């Protein structure tokens, strides 16, 4: 789960500056269009977060975690095919909406699972290590993708990231690795 999340988040964030370069530069989008392309899909965050609990209760946490973790990887490659004009803007909005919706289903279920699997005395240490490693990996990948874009183009770098994101579901645990388990109560609670 950790490797999946670090790699997925790092690749997604590494493309953000490249999308700005591509959309605001070569494709000629106005700043307000760029803002709209990333603001409007944020509604997907509300949709996904409202669905997460219901989906987990109905289909089981393990199945929803695997499905949403796989579905979120399907969207980013399409960003390499952005074109100018209204069609390109619509493509970005649709891709970002789908990506954000899938992520907002996946993330709360992952957070719950991670907390349930971590012994109570190690929660702070685990969350700190997870956060620090994720941020360092994202920074490193952003720098590497900037170099890749310099050597090739922003579009090629976005495509490479999209292809690599397609491989991230292979890092999700299968079968019984994601156990359906009741959370452990702290001593004296309940």
pLDDT digits (tens, 9 = 90+) for 10-42: 999 999 999 999 999 999 999 999 999 999 999
**Per-residue pLDDT at 75 exceeds 70:** yes
**pLDDT reported for residue 187:** 44
What pLDDT is stored for residue 174 in this prediction? 78
* Mean predicted lDDT score pLDDT of the chain: 91
User: 95, 108, 106, 107: which is closest to 40 by C-alpha?
Assistant: 95
Q: Of 171, 132, 166, which is closest to residue 11 (Cα–Cα)?
A: 166
Largest CA distance in the chain: 61
Residue 176 has what pLDDT? 56
* Per-residue buried b or exposed e for 54-84, using 16+ beta carbons within 10 Å of the residue's own CB: ebbeeeebbebbbbbbbbbbbbbbbbbebee
pLDDT in tens, 111-150: 999 888 889 899 899 889 989 999 999 999 999 999 999 9
Residue 189 has pLDDT above 70, yes or no: no
Q: Give this prediction's pTM.
A: 0.87
Q: How far, in Å, CA of 29 to CA of 26, rounded?
A: 8
What domains can you pick out in the chain, each with its CATH number?
2-172 (1.20.1250.20)
């Amino acid at each position: 789960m950790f490797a999946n999340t670090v790699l997925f988040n790092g690749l997604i964030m590494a493309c953000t500056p490249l999308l700005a370069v591509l959309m605001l530069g070569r494709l000629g989008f106005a700043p307000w269009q760029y803002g709209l392309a990333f603001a409007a899909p944020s509604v997907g965050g509300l949709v996904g977060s409202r669905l997460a609990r219901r989906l987990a209760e109905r289909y089981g946490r393990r199945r929803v975690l695997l499905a949403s973790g796989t579905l979120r990887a399907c969207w980013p490659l399409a960003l390499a095919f952005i074109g100018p004009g209204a069609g390109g803007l619509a493509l970005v909005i649709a891709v970002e909406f789908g990506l954000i919706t899938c992520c907002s289903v996946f993330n709360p279920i992952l957070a719950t699972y991670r907390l349930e699997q971590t012994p109570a005395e190690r929660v702070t240490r685990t969350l700190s290590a997870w956060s620090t490693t994720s941020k360092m990996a994202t920074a490193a990948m952003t720098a590497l993708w900037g170099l890749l874009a310099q050597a090739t183009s922003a579009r090629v770098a976005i495509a490479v990231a999209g292809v690599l994101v397609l491989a991230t579901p292979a890092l999700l645990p299968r079968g019984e690795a994601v156990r359906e388990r009741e959370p452990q109560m702290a001593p004296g609670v309940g």
